[in-house]
Amino acid sequence: MYSSATPEIFVFMGINVFLVMSFSVSIFEEQFPKPLPYVFQIAALAGFGQIWMNYTLLSASIETRFWSSLFYLAMAIISIIVINLYVGIRKKRLSSAGILLGVFTIPVGAISFFLISAYTNGTAIPMPTLPIVPIESLATILVLSLVILGLSILVYLKPDKLKKILQTKPKQCISSEITLETHLKNDDQEIAPQQEVKSNE
């Protein structure tokens, strides 16, 4: 499928990932360090430098171009995962981390794996064979991303509903324990007069 494509397709995807992350971080700049958007922009510019280097210095070796392009895309995906973990663990904003997971992490990871699998199965690059990912599976993954995104937005906009759901279950358990205790006390009270009558007889 991608046998005629150049390995720089991975660099182009990595550049887009870095630019989108820079734009997103600049919107929510209060949650992130201020230099972070500029770091992503420099990484995107480094991607254009990677393309120039591939076509000028590494044009004779398709394998070297493939591995350097794949390394650049891997750095872009790792940056998304790090940002996701930073928001969820460091900032303790699970709803925002869920939004990032549904918008960026899962779709970018799935599309990247699809491109890498299609490219390596169409070329004679010496590397472990990856399973061929059917394009229909991408629709399922995108639907899963939309479900995660919808739930995260719901929790982000209405966090009280989640608290009520989590708080109702313990109350139900406590109420059931109270009713069990009252039934046991009533049974003890009914048994006590019967024992007194038997002892008088």
Residue with more model confidence, 181 or 141: 141
Q: Which amino acid is present at 174?
A: I
Contacts of 164 (CB under 8 A, 6+ apart): none
User: For residues 12 and 96, which has the higher predicted lDDT (pLDDT)?
Assistant: 12
Give the residue among 47, 45, 42 at the shortest CA–CA distance from 9.
Answer: 47
Residue 181, pLDDT > 60, answer no
pLDDT digits (tens, 9 = 90+) for 87-140: 888 877 777 778 788 888 888 888 888 888 878 776 666 666 666 767 777 778
Whether the Cβ atoms of residue 73 and residue 112 lie closer than 8 Å to each other: yes
Q: Considering only residues 176 and 91, tell me which one the structure prediction assigns the higher pLDDT.
A: 91
Q: What is the pLDDT of residue 174?
A: 46
Instruction: Specify whether the CB–CB gap between 21 and 13 falls below 8 A.
Output: no
Cβ contact 72:8 at 8 Å = no
pLDDT band, residue 30 (cuts 50/70/90): confident
Give pLDDT, residue 40: 92
Rounded to whole angstroms, the Cα distance separating 141 from 111 reads 10
Predicted pLDDT of residue 112 = 85
HSE-up (13 A, CA, CB side) for residue 183: 6
Write out the DSSP string of the chain: --TTS-THHHHHHHHHHHHHHHHHHHHTGGGS-TTHHHHHHHHHHHHHHHHHHHHHTSTT-HHHHHHHHHHHHHHHHHHHHHHHHIIIIIS--HHHHHHHIIIIIHHHHHHHHHHHHHHHHHS---SPPPPPPPHHHHHHHHHHHHHHHHHHHHHHH-HHHHHHHHHHHHHHHHHHHHHHHHHHHHHHHHHHHHHHHHHH-
Is pLDDT of 78 > 90?
yes
Q: Is the predicted pLDDT of residue 57 greater than 50, yes or no?
A: yes
pLDDT tens, residue by residue, 125-172: 666 666 676 777 777 877 887 887 777 777 767 666 656 655 654 444
> pLDDT averaged over the chain?
76
Residue 179 has pLDDT above 80, yes or no: no
